[in-house]
Structure 1
Amino acid sequence: MARFVIERRTALPPAEAWRRLTAWENHSGSVPLTRITVLTPPPSGAGTVFVARTGLGRASFADPMRVEAWQPPTADGGPGRCRLVKTGRTVMGWAEIAVRADGAGSRVRWEEELRVRWLPYGAGGVTRHAGRLVFGRVVDTLLAG
């Protein structure tokens, strides 16, 4: 498994940073060849299920996920935390998104542990590097709005 952490500071207030990071369908615009479909009715929360499908046609794979924990930031400055569990056969692991107040803006932390079934165990360094690049871009794009 490859584990990585992405941290960003944004001028956005915590509630807006949270809203942008947990608008699951919007992640599609940041990950090449990926479309995200939410399978449960809104609003998002614990139990929400969505699938990221990456690739073209038959050369694609599904990455289904379930929201396991959902605690939005509070108006009085309490931090927000969301935990996703990957439930598929190809991509396994979890991701945790945390948002907390930081001065007039917010601090965001995205931590993820993942394993891709068809990659050898020794490919963790490559997976970690690719994860930082891809999900760093996701966070940057979503926060930029």
Structure 2
Amino acid sequence: MIDVVERVDVVAPAAVVWAAVTDWHNQGAWMLGTRVRVVGGDGRSVGSRLWARTGVGPLGFTDRMEITRWEPPVACEVAHVGGLVRGTGGFRVEARGVSRSTLVWWERLTPPFGVAGNLAWKVTGPAFRLGVRHSLRRFADFAEARA
């Protein structure tokens, strides 16, 4: 199992952070190499389906997700239901007073390809975590610009 938890402090109210992080269409503005689109439902309720395409040019993969928890402006969870990315993930918005928040991003994934996938994660995991941290710093700027 792969567990990733990263946080970023944002100088913006929780409602603004929630609106920014659930703006699926614009997630590519801050998430490295990723475009997200709603492919089923309204993208704002349990059962809605999302596709996230991550990569550069023809190299990449599609992460298919279904929203399993929707509690605005606090928490969203998804089930990763694709062939390559399997497991759960989500985020929490923690209010820190009136004008500050913390976004907590988490993933709990099952590596594909058994033992080979576990070994590959040992090599790629640190880069993945760095990418998430970098993306969350970009997210803070994205959300603060909306405040």
Output the TM-score relative to the length of structure 2.
0.80
Overall identity of the aligned pairs, in %: 28
Q: Please state whether the residue corresponding to 1:35 is helix, strand or coil.
A: strand
Aligned residues: 137
Which secondary structure does the structure 1 equivalent of 2:3 belong to? Answer: strand
Q: Deviations over 1:39-75 (max 9, x none)?
A: 1353522112111123433x442210111000013xx
Is 2:133 the counterpart of 1:133?
Answer: no
Q: Distance in 2 between matches of 1:115 and 1:26?
A: 27
1:113 is matched with 108
Alignment-mate amino acid for residue 42 of structure 1: D
Unpaired runs of at least 5, structure 2: 143-147
Point out the more displaced range, 135-144 or 96-105: 135-144
**Aligned-residue RMSD, C-alpha:** 2.0
1:116, CA displacement in angstroms?
Answer: 4.3
**Given residue 112 of structure 2, which amino acid in structure 1 is its aligned partner?**
R
Specify the SS of the correspondent of 2:123: helix
* Separation of aligned partners in 1, 2:140 and 2:82: 27
Aligned to 1:76: none
1:123 correspondence with 2:120? yes
User: 1:96 Cα deviation (Å)?
Assistant: 1.9
Closer, same or farther: CA 35–108 of 1 in aligned 2, 3 Å: closer
* Structure ranking higher in helix proportion: 2
Q: Is the 8 A contact 2:41 2:49 kept in 1?
A: no
SS in structure 2 at match of 1:120? helix
Separation in 1 of the partners of 2:35 and 2:102?
A: 27
SS of residue matched to 1:39? strand
Question: 1:77 maps to what in 2?
Answer: none
Asked if residue 62 in structure 1 is aligned to residue 62 in structure 2, the reply is yes
CA distance in 2, matches of 1:130, 1:46: 31
TM-score by length of 1: 0.81
Q: 2:95 aligns with which of 101, 108, 113?
A: 101
- 1:1-145 matches, cutoff 5 A: 1-29=1-29, 30-32=31-33, 34-42=34-42, 44-55=44-55, 56-57=57-58, 59-73=59-73, 80-104=74-98, 105-118=100-113, 120-145=117-142
User: How big is each residue's C-alpha offset from its partner over 1:69-91, in whole Å with a ceiling of 9 and x where there is no partner?
Assistant: 00013xxxxxx111011000011
